[in-house]
Every structure is written in C-alpha cells, then in structure tokens.
Structure 1
C-alpha cells in the first residue's frame, strides 16, 4: 500500500472510530457531521469523499464492525483446529457472542441497527485489505465436511437470525435467562438447523 492510500485508510478509520464513539455516547440524533470531523481531526470535505451523511457512515460502520467480528471469528476458528463442521459453527457463534458481551457499547449499537442485509454485506467482504472473506470460508467449511448441506445460504441466514434475535435480550437484559444459561439451548437449536439441512 502506497503512502497516499495508507493516509486515506487512516483518515477513514479515524472517522469510523470517532463516529462509533459519538453514536454510542451521544446517540445518532444528537451527533452532527461537524462533531465527527472536528473530533477526528479530518476536513469536512474528506468526510464527504467516503460518506453521504451521518446515516451513511452509521450504515457503513455497522457493516465495518460486523465485518471485524466475523474476521476475528474466522481467524480464531482456524487456530482452534476443530475438525467437525458443527463444532466450528458453534465455536464461531460463541466467539462472536463473547466479543459482544465484553463490549456493551458495540452490542447496543449492533442490536439497534442489525439486519440480515448488514450481516450479508459483512460476510461478503474481507475484514481488512487482502484478508479472507468469511462467506467464502463458511462455504469452504461446508465443502470440506463429510455431509452435504442443502441451501447453505438459507441455513446461514437462519442461524444468524436465530442467534441475533435470541442473544441480544439475554445479553442486554438477562431475559429470560443470562447468556451463559442460554448458550446450551442455542447450541442445540443450531445443531438441529444444521442436521435438518443435511441432504445426504
């Protein structure tokens, strides 16, 4: 990466970091573009090179943060050296849940703005320049498994939606139980989804 590209990347990262900080402390409605650029130390014109408005940076920030999570999960599952596909999926889900539990501002931010479209975008992009794409890694895990799975996109969608819908209340409100108490039920449900989608 050249010096100019490196500088652009640093500025964009500064805008992301500052916007996240302001959105999670002041809220998006009370945050103006001028607040973001002033705190980031970036010119307003630079902001508009990357983003249309504060809602655009919010949408891209959600994708960016989700993308980072999936990138970290992908790297971590490789180091775990698991052989079974189901175990790998459970590991990835637990990794992401644990990261969100450790970071309440990120958890709240994603919980309020989450949709399948955001996750789909994040899954289809590398976590960083030259990095691997989580969706491709997921498909590779499926291909390397001893079982054939029908409709892997729908299977992944179902797991993401189930996890997000059930884990946010258990993490944020410990309702109906804590996330630690809920995890075994989630694991069983995910394994049931994977088993139901086996085509062999």
Structure 2
C-alpha cells in the first residue's frame, strides 16, 4: 500500500471509529455528519469521499465491524492446528461470540440493524479497507480440509442468521440461557447444518 493509500485508509478508519463512538454513546438519530467530522478532525468533504450519507456510514460501519470480528478470529485460528472443517468453523464462531460478549456496545450496534445484505458486503468484500476477505478465506479453509461445499453462501447465510438471531438475548439478557449454557446447543446445530452441506472429496 502506497503512502497516499495509507493516508486515505487512516482517514476512513478515523471516521469509522468516530462514528461508532458517537452512534453508541449518543445514538444514531442524535448524531449528525457535522458531529462526526468535527470529532474526527476532518473536512466534511472527506466524509463524502467515502459515504453518501449518515445511513451509508452506518451500513458500512456494520460491515467494517463484522470484517474486524472475522479478522481477529482468523488470526487466532492461524495459531491453532485444527484440520477438521467443522471444528474450524466452530472455533471461528466461538471466537466471534466471545468478542461480542466482551464488547456489548458492538453487539447492540450490529445486532439491531444487521441484515444478510449488509453482512454479505463484509464477507464478500474486496474493499481495500477491510482487513480480511473472509469469504475467500472460508472457501480456502474448506479446500484445505478437502471438503466441497454444496452451497457455500447458503451455508454461511444459515450460520450467520442462527448465530445472530439467537446469541443477542443469551449474551445481553441470559435468556433463555446464558451464552455459555447455550453454546453446546448452538454448536451441535451448526455441526448438523455443516454435515448436510459438505461432501468429502475422494
């Protein structure tokens, strides 16, 4: 990455960080673009280089935060010796859930507005500002495990929907179980979903 690209990335990262802080501290509706650029220390024109409006920054911020969650999980995976695809997926999911448990502001922010369309923009993004092209890594992990995914995007969609829909109350409200009590049920379901969608290569 050249020096100019690095400076652009730093400015976008600053806008993301600032917008997240303001959205989670004073609320999305009470935060203006002027608030964001003033606190970020950039010109309003810089904001419009990256975003159409406040809703656009929120959607891209959700994708950005989702990408960051996956990036940290993938880096942790690199320190393991796991070789089974299901074990690898459970490891990644568990790491992400633990991150959300430690950062409930992030959980509240992404869970409220998270849709598959927004999440998919992070998973399949080639955006230079995203840390990890998770979808490509996901496919590569399956290949390295000698596994063919019948419907890779559908499988990922089902996992995202299941994890996103069910973990929110478990983490924030311990309802109907605490997240630690719920994990065995969740992971058993995910393993079953994976088993129906993979075919071991001969």
Q: TM-score range by the shorter chain?
A: over 0.9
After TM superposition, the score normalised by the length of structure 1 is 0.93
1:141 aligns with 141
SS at match of 1:80: coil
RMSD (CA atoms): 1.8
Answer yes or no: is the 8 Å Cα contact 1:125–1:133 preserved in 2: yes
Superposition deviation, residue 96 in structure 1: 0.3
Choose 141-150 or 151-160, whichever is displaced more: 141-150
1:1-200 counterparts in 2 under 5 A?
Answer: 1-125=1-125, 132-199=132-199
Q: Deviations over 1:12-59 (max 9, x none)?
A: 111111100000011110001111111111111111111111111111
In terms of mean alpha carbon deviation, does 35-44 or 73-82 score higher?
73-82
Q: In structure 2, what is the Cα distance between the partners aligned to 1:127 and 1:73?
A: 19
Judging changes above 3 Å, is the alpha-carbon distance between structure 1 residues 126 and 181 closer, same or farther for their aligned structure 2 residues? farther
Q: Structure 1 CA distance, aligned partners of 2:145 and 2:3?
A: 43
Deviation at residue 190 of structure 1 after TM alignment: 0.5
Distance in 1, matches of 2:13 and 2:41, equals 12
Counterparts of 1:107 and 1:51 in 2: how far apart (Å)?
Answer: 23
Tell me, what secondary structure is at the counterpart of 1:125?
coil
Unpaired segments ≥5 residues, structure 2: none
Aligned 8 A contact 2:68 2:130 in 1: no
Structure 1: tracts of 5 or more residues without a match: none
Q: TM-score, normalised by structure 2?
A: 0.92
Q: CA deviation at 1:178?
A: 0.6
Q: 1:174 to 1:130 in 2, by over 3 A?
A: closer
Query: Do the aligned residues in 2 keep the contact of 1:170 with 1:179 (CA within 8 Å)?
Result: yes
* Per-residue Cα deviation, 1:139-161 (whole angstroms, up to 9, x for no partner): 11222334443212211111111
